[in-house]
Amino acid sequence: MKEKLQHILKSFEEDIKKVVTYDDLEKIRVEYLSKKGYIPQIMPMLREVPNEQKKEIGQLVNSVKNQIEDELKNTKQMLDMKEIEKNISNSEKIDITLPVDNNIGSLHPRTTIQKEIEDIFIGMGFSVEDGKEVETEYNNFDAVNVPKNHPARDMQDTFWLDNGELLKTHTSASQNRILRKYNGPLKAIFPGRCFRNEALDHSHENTFFQIEGMVVDKDVSVANLIFFMKEMLSLVFKKDIEVRLRPGFFPFTEPSFELDIKCPFCNGKGCSTCKNGGWIELCPCGMIHPNVLRNGGLDPEQYSGFAFGLGYDRLVMMKGNLNDIRLLNSGNLKLLKQFGIK
Ligand code: FA5
C-alpha cells in the first residue's frame, strides 16, 4: 500500500504541473479526491494492512491526501492571479476600433440661453453691462428705494459679509451704477448671478440668475413697456407671445407689474408647464420709481423709464422640461444630455 500511495502522489505531481485552466484543475480534483477518486478508493485497503503498520500507513494516507489538497488549493490561487492579471492587461489596452469620444465639454444650458437673450437685446440696440456679485448695501437696497426696515434686508434673506457688504440679492443692485454711467437716455441689460438665503425647493435656489433690463428716455410709458416686453419674449420663444400684466409691488418701480405670458407650449389650453392655468408668471417689471432716477442723478421730471428683472433659470427649466431648479447647479452631466448636449 505504501508503494501504491507513493505512486499516486508521483502521478498527481506530474498531472498538476500540466494544469493550465480551471477545467484541468477540476478534472484532477475529481480523479484523485472525488468518491471514486484514487484516494477514497485506496481507503478500504487499510483494513488489510497488518495492525502494527496501520498507524504508519494511516498517517501516510492522510499526509498524501493533505498534500494533494494543498497543491490543488495553491494551483487554484495561481490560476486566480493569472485571471486577474489578464483582466487588468485587457482593460488597459486601447481599442482603436472604438468610435472617437468627442466629449470635450460644452456651455451650460443656462449660459446658452443667456447668450441667446443677449443677442436678442443687442439686436434691439441694447448694451450689455457687467454687474458685481459682491455689492454695497446702498446699491442693493437704498439706491433702489428699498426702505431701511424692509424684510428683504434681514439675515434670513440676504447673505451679509463681515465688512457690511453683501452678495447681491437681485440684479437691480446695478441700476444705480448704470444710471450714473449714462446720465441720460439708455437701453441696457445686465445679467448676473444672485444670492438669497432661502429655504430651497424645486423652484427656489440660493444661487440663481436674473437678466435685468432698463430703458430710460423722455416720455417712456407703460405702453412702451408692454410693447417692448411682448416683442422681446416673442423673439426669445421664436413665436408670437401674448402677455398680460397684473399689479405687483416693488419699491423700485411705480406702478409695478407681474408680467405673465400665455403658455407657449399649449397656447393657453393648459399643460404641465403652465400647471393647467394657461398662463405662466414670468417677469416682474414696472416704471422706474422717481426716487431711483433721482438717486441715479436723473431728473424724474425730465426722464422716465421702465425696468424688468427676468429670472431666466425658469426659461432654462421650461426649455429642458425640468421640474427642479436645483438640477441646474448640480453639476450632473445627465442634465446636459437632456438638452441634447453630449
Ligand atoms: C426682483 O428680484 C426684482 N429686482 C425684479 C424687478 C426688476 C422688478 C426691475 C421690477 C423692476 P423677484 O424677487 O420677484 O424680483 O425676483 C425676480 C425673479 O427672479 C423671479 O420672478 C424668479 O424668476 C427669480 N427668483 C427670485 N428668487 C429666486 C430663487 N430663490 N430661486 C430662483 N429664482 C428666483
Q: Is 145 in the pocket of ligand 1 (CB under 6 A)?
A: no
CATH class of 109-339: alpha beta
Q: Confidence class of residue 340 from pLDDT cuts 50, 70 and 90? A: low
| Pick from 175-179, 284-288, 299-303, 310-314: least confident | 310-314
Domain ranges, ordered by start, for the chain = 2-90, 109-339
Cα-flanking dihedrals φ and ψ of residue 304, to 5°?
-140, 170
Q: Is 281 in the pocket of ligand 1 (CB under 6 A)?
A: no
Convert the pLDDT of each residue in 224-252 to its tens digit: 999 999 998 999 889 999 999 999 999 99
HEC secondary structure over the chain? CHHHHHHHHHHHHHHHHCCCCHHHHHHHHHHHHCCCCHHHHHHHHHHHCCHHHHHHHHHHHHHHHHHHHHHHHHHHHHHHHHHHHHHHHHHCCCCCCCCCCCCCCCCCHHHHHHHHHHHHHHHCCCEECCCCCEECHHHHHHCCCCCCCCHHHCCCCCCECCCCCEECCCHHHHHHHHHHHHCCCEEEEEEEEEECCCCCECCECCEEEEEEEEEEECCCCHHHHHHHHHHHHHHHHCCCCCEEEEEEEECCEEEEEEEEEECCCCCCCCCCCCCCCCEEEEEEEEEECHHHHHHCCCCCCCCEEEEEEEECHHHHHHHHCCCCHHHHHCCCHHHHHHCCCC
- Give the residue, by CA position, lying nearest to ligand 1 atom 26: 311
Convert the pLDDT of each residue in 118-127 to its tens digit: 999 999 999 9
Q: Is 166 in the pocket of ligand 1 (CB under 6 A)?
A: no
pLDDT value, residue 207: 97
| 85 CA to centre of ligand 1 in angstroms | 59
pLDDT value, residue 331: 83
Q: Is 193 in the pocket of ligand 1 (CB under 6 A)?
A: no
Q: Is the pLDDT of residue 132 over 60?
A: yes
pLDDT value, residue 303: 98
| 309 CA to centre of ligand 1 in angstroms | 6
Q: Is the pLDDT of residue 20 over 90?
A: yes
- Give the residue, by CA position, lying nearest to ligand 1 atom 18: 311
CA distance 339 to 332: 12
Question: Which residue among 114, 159, 170, 222 is best mutated to probe the pocket of ligand 1, counting the most ligand atoms within 8 A of its Cβ?
Answer: 170
Q: Confidence class of residue 341 from pLDDT cuts 50, 70 and 90? A: low
Nearest to 179 by CA among 232, 129, 114: 129
Q: Is the pLDDT of residue 92 over 70?
A: no
Q: Is 311 in the pocket of ligand 1 (CB under 6 A)?
A: yes
Convert the pLDDT of each residue in 185-222 to its tens digit: 999 999 999 999 999 998 999 999 999 999 999 999 99
pLDDT value, residue 130: 94
Q: Is 140 in the pocket of ligand 1 (CB under 6 A)?
A: no
| 199 CA to centre of ligand 1 in angstroms | 15
| 116 CA to centre of ligand 1 in angstroms | 20
For the CA of 306, the nearest atom of ligand 1: 11
HEC secondary structure over 193-219? EEECCCCCECCECCEEEEEEEEEEECC
